[in-house]
Amino acid sequence: DDANPVSDTEDALAAVEVVRCTAVEKLVKPEEVEDEGFFARAIDIIEGWVRRWRDALLANTDARRSYIVIDLLGATLRGLATDQVLRRGFDHLDDIDFREWLRKHGASDFTLSSAFMNGTYDTVFGFLGGDPEREVLAAGTGLRSGLRMLLAYKGHFMWKMNAGMGDIVFAPYYEILRRRGVRFHFFHRVEALRLGTDQTTIDAIDIRRQATPASGTYEPLVMVHDLECWPSEPLYDQLVEGETLRGRAAAGENVNLESYWSAWEGVESITLRHGTDYDHVLLGIPVAALGTLCSELVAARPEWRDMVEHIATNRTMNAQLWLRPDVAGLGWDVCRDPILGGFVRPLSVWAALSHLVTMEDWSGCAVRPAHLAYLVGPMRDSAAPEPPYFTDPTFPRREEEQVYRETRRFLEEHAQHLWPQACRADGCLDWDQLVDPLGRSGPQRLEAQYLRGNVDPNERYTLSVAGSTRYRLRADQSGFGNLTLTGDWTYNGLNAGCVEAAVMSGMQASRAIAGYPQEIVAEDDVPKLFG
Give residue 100's identity as a one-letter amino acid code.
E
Residue 8 to residue 14: CA distance in whole angstroms = 10
CA 216 to chain centroid = 36
**3-state secondary structure string, 78-117?**
HHHHHCCHHHHCCHHHCCCEHHHHHHHCCCCHHHHCCHHH
At residue 420, does pLDDT exceed 70?
A: yes
Residues 6+ apart with CB under 8 A from 96: 104, 138, 139, 466
Model pLDDT, residue 3: 36
Residues 6+ apart with CB under 8 A from 519: none
Residue 162 to residue 169: CA distance in whole angstroms = 11
276 Ramachandran zone, left/alpha/beta (phi>0; psi -120 to 50): alpha
User: Is residue 209 within a helix (H) or strand (E), and if so which, with residue range?
Assistant: strand 202-209
At residue 274, does pLDDT exceed 80?
A: yes
Poorest-pLDDT segment among 23-27, 52-56, 110-114, 183-187 = 23-27
User: Is residue 148 within a helix (H) or strand (E), and if so which, with residue range?
Assistant: helix 139-151
Tens digits of residue pLDDT in 503-520: 999 999 999 999 999 999
Model pLDDT, residue 81: 86
Q: Where are the alpha helices (DSSP H) in 366-469?
A: 395-413, 415-418
When computed from its CA atoms, the radius of gyration of the chain, rounded to whole angstroms, is 26
Residues 6+ apart with CB under 8 A from 388: none
Residue 196 to residue 199: CA distance in whole angstroms = 5
**Residues 379-392: b if buried by 16+ CB within 10 A, e if exposed:** bbbbeeeeeebbee
> By the 8 A CB rule, do 94 and 469 touch?
yes
At residue 336, does pLDDT exceed 90?
A: no
> By the 8 A CB rule, do 227 and 163 touch?
yes
Helix, strand or coil, per DSSP, at residue 246: helix
What mean pLDDT is predicted for residues 301-308? Answer: 98
> By the 8 A CB rule, do 375 and 349 touch?
yes
DSSP 8-state class, residue 316: E
Half-sphere exposure of 162 (CA within 13 A, CB side): 3
Residue 474 to residue 361: CA distance in whole angstroms = 42
Q: How many CB atoms lie within 10 A of CB 499?
A: 11
Residue 467 to residue 330: CA distance in whole angstroms = 43
Give residue 43's identity as a one-letter amino acid code.
I
Model pLDDT, residue 8: 46
Poorest-pLDDT segment among 20-34, 355-369, 377-391, 517-531 = 20-34
**Residues 468-478: b if buried by 16+ CB within 10 A, e if exposed:** bbebbbbbeeb
Q: Inter-axis angle of helices 61-82 and 115-123, to 10 degrees?
A: 60
Tens digits of residue pLDDT in 142-155: 999 998 888 888 88
Q: Which of 295, 331, 290, 300 is nearest to 472 (CA)?
A: 290
Between the alpha carbon of residue 61 and those of residues 58, 349, 386, 451, the distances in Å are 7, 21, 46, 34
Tens digits of residue pLDDT in 19-75: 555 555 544 443 444 455 666 666 677 667 667 767 776 777 777 888 888 889 889
514 Ramachandran zone, left/alpha/beta (phi>0; psi -120 to 50): alpha
At residue 1, does pLDDT exceed 70?
A: no
Model pLDDT, residue 531: 43
